[in-house]
Amino acid sequence: MKINHLIKTTILTSATFLLLSAQALAAQEVSSVKASAADGNTTIFKTTATADADRFKISQILDFNFIEDKNYNKETLILKATGTINSGYIKPNPNDYNSSVLPWAGKYNVTLSALKGDSTTLVDYAPKNETDQFQVQKTLSYGGGGDINVSNNPTGSLNGKYSFSETISYKQKNYRTYINQGTDYKQVSWGVEANKFMNNGWGPYGRDAEDNGGTYGNELFLAKRNSNANAGQNFIPEYQIPLLARGNFNPEFLGVFSHKNNDQKKTRLKVTYQRETDFYEILWNGFFWKGENYKNYDPKTFTTIYEVDWQNHTAKSIKSWTDGK
């Protein structure tokens, strides 16, 4: 694990844009911006914090929505996690002769955690259930007294009952979203994993699929079983590879954290973005081409600790690091 003290970090508010080094950031005071909700009992404080890991092409953009509710004895934070996670895809070398490898994104993971030490707990999140829909859309709405509602309505649920909402929307063609193991009252983790790929009408294939009892292995990206081309030229065309496998994933997830009013005024949240880079290999066995997929061969992880100030309604990055080669 390598601590990257110089990872770019940015704190934004509606009135302020600051680009600071990690050393200067820790002592920086950031003002918050108030916005009164329609019902008169709820005040929303908004701020945004970002962090980037250039070496892995991963960026975190976090929108912090602090909610003060006169009808509720706890403070509420609705956290929207967005940004970019690069797939790690590399074009195979066309000169590779008997075997060749194609790195691609088998799975993306996003984790939001409240570190132990205070009363902060995870009370809700979105999305909640497994879905393989092409586009995932959810709206999380807040009502008086801590009432939270998650719906599929992309326009939100602002009415007499709900005074604030946050919406997420992302595309995941050929992938599926589900909740990872380890999700509990302090943490939620989502996985967006390769699901059903078609190869010239054959399939569906996934990270583990094999044909004919394993004779030809996993034909996920294999162009032809019998071909005179070099190994590096026997992959399917790049445009046929799903976009999330070879491009960027733009996550959008929501977590709701609750904090007792009389507890300590600062909380630390840990946010982790990760890609599980698979290596897909094709090789010539003397008779035909065979494919093999090596899952999570080269994971890349970017983690940032954010300090949340409940009293001043601010958030800032205080430490970031990367794991992976």
> Would you list the DSSP string of 146-193?
GEEEEES-TT---SSSEEEEEEEEEE-TTEEEEEPTT-SSSEEEEEEE
Q: How far apart are CA 149 and CA 110, in angstroms?
A: 22
Q: How far apart are CA 214 and CA 315, in angstroms?
A: 51
| pLDDT for res 154 | 66
pLDDT at position 145 over 90: no
Percent residues over pLDDT 90 in the chain: 73
Contact present, 267 and 293 (Cβ < 8 Å): no
| pLDDT, tens digit, 9 for 90 and up, residues 304-318 | 999 999 999 999 999
Buried b (16+ CB within 10 A) or exposed e, 184-221: eebbbbbbbbbbebebeeeeebbbebbbeeeebbbbbb
Q: How far apart are CA 40 and CA 76, in angstroms?
A: 17
Dihedral of CA 271/145/44/31: which sign? negative
| pLDDT for res 18 | 32
Q: What is the domain range of residue 246? A: 2-323
pLDDT at position 257 over 90: yes
Q: How far apart are CA 243 and CA 260, in angstroms?
A: 43
| pLDDT for res 211 | 64
| pLDDT, tens digit, 9 for 90 and up, residues 94-142 | 999 999 999 999 999 999 999 988 999 999 999 999 999 999 999 999 9
Prediction pTM value: 0.88
Flag the least confident range among 129-138, 207-216, 249-258.
Answer: 207-216
Contact present, 158 and 141 (Cβ < 8 Å): yes
Residue 318: which CATH number?
Answer: 2.70.240.10
| pLDDT for res 209 | 72
| pLDDT for res 14 | 38
| pLDDT for res 7 | 38
Count of domains observed in the chain: 1
Q: What's the mean pLDDT when you consider all of the chain?
A: 87
| pLDDT, tens digit, 9 for 90 and up, residues 271-304 | 999 999 999 999 999 999 999 999 999 999 999 9
Indicate the pLDDT class of residue 175, thresholds 50, 70 and 90. very high
| pLDDT, tens digit, 9 for 90 and up, residues 18-44 | 333 333 333 333 434 555 554 678 899
Higher pLDDT, 259 or 34: 259
Q: Considering only CA atoms, which of 301, 281, 88, 295 is closest in space to residue 206? A: 295
Q: And the tokens for 270?
A: 């840990």
| pLDDT, tens digit, 9 for 90 and up, residues 45-78 | 999 999 999 999 999 999 999 999 988 999 999 9
Please tell me whether residue 116 adopts helix, strand or coil conformation: coil
| pLDDT for res 159 | 56
Average pLDDT over residues 196-222: 85
| pLDDT, tens digit, 9 for 90 and up, residues 87-103 | 999 999 999 999 999 99
